[in-house]
Structure 1
Amino acid sequence: MAAKNQQTQKPNKRKQFSSTKTDKDGSKSKKPKLLSSTPSSTNPSNKLLKKPFNSSKPKREHPTHSKFKKSESGNDNKELTKRERRIQAKELAEARKKKRKPHYTLEQELASLWEKMRRRNIAKEDRSKLITEALQKMKGKIPEIAGSHVSSRVLQTCVKYCSQIERDAVFSKLQPHLLTLSCNAYAVHLVKKMFDAASKKQLAGVISSLRGHVASLLRHMVGSVVIEHAYQLGNATQKQELLMELYSTELHLFKDLASIKESRLIDIISKLDLQKSSVLRHMSSVIQPILEKGIVDHSMIHRVLIEYLNIADKSSAADIIQQLSGPLLVRMIHTRDGSKIGMLCVKHGSAKERKKIIKGMKGHISKIVRDQCGCMVLVGIVSMVDDTKLITKIIIRELQTTLKELALDKSARRLLLQLLHPNCSRYLNADGLASLNLTVPSLSSKNESEIKSKKLSRDEESSKEAAKSDIPEENLDEESTKEVATTDSDMEATESGKGDIPEENLNSAEGGKKDPSLRRRELLVNSGLAENLIDVCIENAEELLTSNFGKEVIFEVAKGGSDGILHPTLDEKLNNLHEAIAELAAKPKSDESEEEHVLENFHSSRTIRKLILDCPAFASSLWKKSLEGKCQLWAQGHSSKVVSAFWESSDSEVRKVAKEELQPLVDDGTLKIPETKQSANEN
């Protein structure tokens, strides 16, 4: 039945209508005919639509016309040679330059004099004559031609080698036009040369003339170079005078307010009773255009940013850190304040921002790690950032190719030593350790509302407990104040680093969530850096031991690092390193050789001594291979420090091995040991 119904049912099709409509009589309707495109001859208005025939258009003449025929002589249309065309073009160019440049002839004369006066093998008298002649030619026109590409170079040479009287004359002519010249791409070098050659009085006058224009010049790509140069040359008072203009509108307008002794912005605000919100608005209006243009290379801007972050609220500080996180930060970390900004960005930046910072350093790691300030940013990264895979990929891989040079470099070794022995005051100075603990106040401290809510909750809990234990209401306030005092003291202890968090883990507590020892192991051991570093130490043991900076790296590696981080995995490699050092010490002593023995060298003898005292495994290896039966030979000079270390060692087995041979030397007075250490070992 179902099949039958399907056959009987007809498919519903949509009715199709023809597009043409039929009239009542059945004939199809047609569209009205269009007017003919050809204008009728009867309509006179159509004549106006025709394009008029241009009878004045010249007809194309045939090449055989008499105008194109050569003259009988054939010299009129003769083509010029290449040399003649080149000479003609040069003459035309010279003529155009003379019209365009009013002092073009003078510049050509000065250029010829400059080629003579800038030679190195010229006599001083001849050079002074040429300089005097050049200054005479420029007399009355110095401000006009100072911005020229050629004349500015001539003036720089004149200012450098001329007499003091001539220099003062040039200075007096250019000083009224200082602001204009500071923004010129060519004259800026002349202005810097003037600053370098200026006396103290002239420099003070120049810096005072810049007042009121510091912010505008800092926003200029060329003018910012002049401000930075003046900032570097000025004394502390002059530097403060330049900075004050950027802090507040009041300090910008009134010169007397800027002459206070306080240097920190927080102290200035409190002393002058300035509104913090007004200061923030003014500083943000100064800083934002500078950051948008990317003018972040100057130390003056870095100082302003540090002061801004100290007083900025949470959103403003986070916005600045977000703007700086990336390739822009690489151009800032070469200064002391710029390095601090870099570490603040690493510490308070999000995971995404830290990733941008590290990726922005790609390709520049070897240069950054050798910089005195830049290396501290890398130290902060390996101490705070939890993404060890990214650090290994971008930073560690680039460092592994030049480990020997890094170990011998004064600044670069700090990164290796931070991984081997973190936060050691022997390798990082007080300023470096303090910079690792820097924080932005608004981003690190808790909100007041949160603190108040916690205090209220504690008060409620204490009141409930008091009600349960029937404590009188008079004693409730005392107990609550005690609890608040204890919690406040705990917060102060954690902030100062004296709480439950160890000193080495203080940075990681704020900067990252990963365990510091685990982070170190992943960066040092799992990445293969430690293995490569041990191989470099084995190959260059003598050079590292006798170096002033490399000795510390080889000492930490041979010791196994802080907390023995290298020992479980790389014991075999470390034993090879101990044997390599022992082989160097086992070389015979000879007075004829020019190279100094490692036991007699100042640096290497002290390093080997420390290894004997701190690493018993190395001490036993050195004794068996190098010093057994030869102590009397090395009992004097720098080598005596090495021999006496066996007697002073805190390890009983090391003392026991060497005591039989060293006892006669101590009794004879050949080997001198301090009485305090000798009595301590006897006990």
Structure 2
Amino acid sequence: MFCFLVESKMVVMEKTKTKKFSPKFEEAPPKKVKKMKKNTDVEDNSSKKKKIKGEEGEKKKKLKFNDNVDVKEIKGEWKKKKEMKEEKKKTGKVNFDGKNPKSKFKEPVELLNKKETREKQKKVKETRKKFKQEDVFDIGVQAKKVWEEVRREDCPESKKESLVNQLHSLVKGNIKKIIFAHDTVRVVECLMALGSSDIRDKLFLELKDDILEMAKSKYAHFFVQKMLRYGSKDQKNQIVKVVEGQIAKLMKNKTAGHVIEIIYNDIASAPQRNSMLQEFLDHGFIHFKEPELRTVPEIIAKYPLRKADCIQNLQRNVEVLIRKGAFNHSLVHTVIYNYLLVADNKQRAETIEQLREALVHMAHSREGAYTALNCLWHGTTKDRKAIIKSFKTFMLKTAQEEYGHMVLMGIFDCVDDTKFVGKAVISELTENMEEMMTNKYCVRVLKYLFSGRSPTYVNKDMITILEKVILLNVYPLHVLVPGVWGVIN
């Protein structure tokens, strides 16, 4: 028992020891001590500040000013404001200096006539041009004087030859500096049009390295057009070679597109046209072309693995061309037509929605008319109505065109809303029946209205084109309304 009590006491003692010295039960230092420390710090700081102030005060007392120093009075802003208010009360106007504008001395203004102001503007323009073109300005002035004599109709041919030679001698060596200006480019165009073969060769040699830059220029691209018109065969072929590989880029440019349109329509052969179309496809066709293949479906049939890349690049180029509004070029018509032949239903619907109001500008060419027919066949009823409305006031003109009349025949063939077709198309055509009867293409339209697809009155090639509608599950108008008399009534 005794041993047990001793052990219990020892355990109790150990517990009390742990309670006394454990960190949980440590007593915190008194807060008063901390406050005292803070107070002591504040007292030390205040004492230091007092000492510093005392030293500064002693220093300030030691400072002395010199009486000989000149002091200027500065006018305050409040005085300026006061003056401006007083002037407002008196005159009602205040100048930016705070003074009355009436009190300022003004120089007398010279009133000029219309002719005098025009002459003054010309002098200022000339001085500005001299500053910009110090080397070429005098040459340009002399060349324009000679050019004005040469281009006159009453100028004799003997004098004209000597003036052309004189003009070439003036311009020679500085044509690159002159050709990008709006006035001096006409001088170089005149040399290309009226000059001899030697002068044309010399001009071409001087400018053949800058053909791409000139084609993109606003004024110099007219000279490239003159070269394509008046140049020799070798010169034209060299221009075509320079342009190869850059056709897709140049067609996106507004000014360069006119140059490529002339190359495509007037100069390029059939295989060259096919190769120009292939540049809008995969990048591989820029360097390795297939001039025998005419259309994009033929190319895809030969290279089926490259189908996705070809359609993707073609879609990008078509979107840019539509966005920029390059609808007047026949090369663009061929590109869009080939894209519609290859595109998916969703992609085709998007392009038709973008093109439906611009087909009026495309119906004059063969591929443009084919694109319009595809838009009519594949488009919705809303698209067809929008296409017909866009041809308003142009129905007679399209009926008189070689390929445009096909679009009207397509409208009669696939649009099932006979009342709308009667009001929009036939009523406009019947207003000018005399002109319709005299033109051969208009007569074809009238024959189709009465006879339908009978081969006695309609061309077989046109019937084969219109028969594509049945494959697209679009019912033609002559099937819905036999005799077409319901349309006219």
Name the TM-score class by shorter chain.
Answer: 0.7 to 0.9
TM-score (norm 1): 0.54
Cα distance in structure 2, aligned partners of 1:87 and 1:309: 57
- Residue 234 (1) aligns with residue 265 (2): no
Paired position in structure 2 for 1:400: 430
Q: CA deviation at 1:438?
A: 4.0
TM-score (norm 2): 0.74
Q: Which runs of 5+ in 1 are unaligned?
A: 1-49, 69-75, 440-493, 496-506, 527-683
Cα distance in structure 1, aligned partners of 2:229 and 2:394: 31
Q: In structure 2, do the counterparts of structure 1 residues 435 and 297 end up closer, same or farther at CA, with 3 Å as the change threshold?
A: farther
1:331 to 358, 361, 364: 361
User: 1:579-635 CA distances to partner (integer Å, 9 max, x unpaired)?
Assistant: xxxxxxxxxxxxxxxxxxxxxxxxxxxxxxxxxxxxxxxxxxxxxxxxxxxxxxxxx
Q: Is the 8 A contact 2:447 2:458 kept in 1?
A: no
| Count of equivalent residues | 398
Q: CA deviation at 1:409?
A: 0.5
Cα distance in structure 1, aligned partners of 2:129 and 2:247: 36
Q: In structure 2, do the counterparts of structure 1 residues 77 and 218 end up closer, same or farther at CA, with 3 Å as the change threshold?
A: closer
Residue 99 of structure 2 aligns with an amino acid whose one-letter code is R
Paired position in structure 2 for 1:368: 398
Q: Is the 8 A contact 2:356 2:375 kept in 1?
A: yes
Q: CA deviation at 1:292?
A: 1.3
Q: In structure 2, do the counterparts of structure 1 residues 437 and 116 end up closer, same or farther at CA, with 3 Å as the change threshold?
A: farther
Q: CA deviation at 1:231?
A: 0.9
Q: Is the 8 A contact 2:248 2:317 kept in 1?
A: yes
Paired position in structure 1 for 2:324: 293
Q: What aligned pairs does 1:429-440 form with structure 2 within 5 A after superposition?
A: 429-438=459-468
Q: CA deviation at 1:96?
A: 2.7
Q: Is the 8 A contact 2:247 2:279 kept in 1?
A: yes
Residue 240 of structure 1 aligns with an amino acid whose one-letter code is N
Cα distance in structure 1, aligned partners of 2:98 and 2:373: 80
1:306 to 319, 327, 337: 337
Paired position in structure 2 for 1:522: 486
User: 1:324-343 CA distances to partner (integer Å, 9 max, x unpaired)?
Assistant: 112x0111111011111111
1:410 to 435, 440, 446: 440
Paired position in structure 2 for 1:349: 379
Cα distance in structure 2, aligned partners of 1:58 and 1:431: 85
Q: In structure 2, do the counterparts of structure 1 residues 517 and 111 end up closer, same or farther at CA, with 3 Å as the change threshold?
A: same
Paired position in structure 2 for 1:196: 229
Cα distance in structure 1, aligned partners of 2:302 and 2:109: 87
Q: SS of the residue aligned with 1:246?
A: coil
Q: SS of the residue aligned with 2:346?
A: helix
Paired position in structure 2 for 1:631: none
2:281 to 241, 244, 247: 247
2:159 to 117, 126, 134: 126
Cα distance in structure 1, aligned partners of 2:353 and 2:117: 60
Cα distance in structure 1, aligned partners of 2:316 and 2:102: 72
Q: Is the 8 A contact 1:375 1:411 kept in 2?
A: yes
Q: CA deviation at 1:264?
A: 2.7
Residue 161 of structure 1 aligns with an amino acid whose one-letter code is L
Q: In structure 2, do the counterparts of structure 1 residues 275 and 167 end up closer, same or farther at CA, with 3 Å as the change threshold?
A: same
Q: SS of the residue aligned with 1:412?
A: helix
Cα distance in structure 1, aligned partners of 2:141 and 2:336: 46
Q: Is the 8 A contact 1:269 1:275 kept in 2?
A: yes
2:312 to 267, 281, 290: 281
Cα distance in structure 2, aligned partners of 1:239 and 1:62: 72
Q: Is the 8 A contact 1:386 1:519 kept in 2?
A: no
Paired position in structure 1 for 2:239: 206
Q: In structure 2, do the counterparts of structure 1 residues 378 and 77 end up closer, same or farther at CA, with 3 Å as the change threshold?
A: closer
Q: In structure 2, do the counterparts of structure 1 residues 53 and 188 end up closer, same or farther at CA, with 3 Å as the change threshold?
A: same
Report the identity percentage: 27
Q: SS of the residue aligned with 1:352?
A: helix
Q: In structure 2, do the counterparts of structure 1 residues 274 and 146 end up closer, same or farther at CA, with 3 Å as the change threshold?
A: farther
Q: CA deviation at 1:60?
A: 3.4
User: 1:291-329 CA distances to partner (integer Å, 9 max, x unpaired)?
Assistant: 111112211111122222222222222222222112x01
Q: Is the 8 A contact 1:113 1:130 kept in 2?
A: yes
Cα distance in structure 1, aligned partners of 2:146 and 2:467: 58
Q: CA deviation at 1:199?
A: 2.6
Paired position in structure 2 for 1:262: 293
- Residue 215 (1) aligns with residue 215 (2): no
Cα distance in structure 1, aligned partners of 2:387 and 2:291: 38
- Residue 172 (1) aligns with residue 205 (2): yes
Q: CA deviation at 1:378?
A: 0.6
Over the residues paired in the alignment, what is the CA RMSD in angstroms? 2.9
Q: In structure 2, do the counterparts of structure 1 residues 300 and 351 end up closer, same or farther at CA, with 3 Å as the change threshold?
A: same
Q: Which runs of 5+ in 2 are unaligned?
A: 1-75, 84-95
- Residue 358 (1) aligns with residue 391 (2): no
2:124 to 63, 68, 92: 92
Q: Is the 8 A contact 1:325 1:353 kept in 2?
A: yes
Residue 365 of structure 1 aligns with an amino acid whose one-letter code is M
Q: In structure 2, do the counterparts of structure 1 residues 78 and 229 end up closer, same or farther at CA, with 3 Å as the change threshold?
A: closer
Cα distance in structure 2, aligned partners of 1:424 and 1:396: 21
Paired position in structure 1 for 2:99: 60
- Residue 182 (1) aligns with residue 215 (2): yes
- Residue 138 (1) aligns with residue 102 (2): no
Q: In structure 2, do the counterparts of structure 1 residues 190 and 419 end up closer, same or farther at CA, with 3 Å as the change threshold?
A: same
Q: In structure 2, do the counterparts of structure 1 residues 265 and 61 end up closer, same or farther at CA, with 3 Å as the change threshold?
A: closer
User: 1:345-385 CA distances to partner (integer Å, 9 max, x unpaired)?
Assistant: 11221110000000000111121111111111011111221
Paired position in structure 1 for 2:347: 316
Q: What aligned pairs does 1:495-510 form with structure 2 within 5 A after superposition?
A: 510=474
Q: SS of the residue aligned with 2:186?
A: helix
Look at both structures and tell me which one has the larger radius of gyration over its CA atoms. Answer: 2
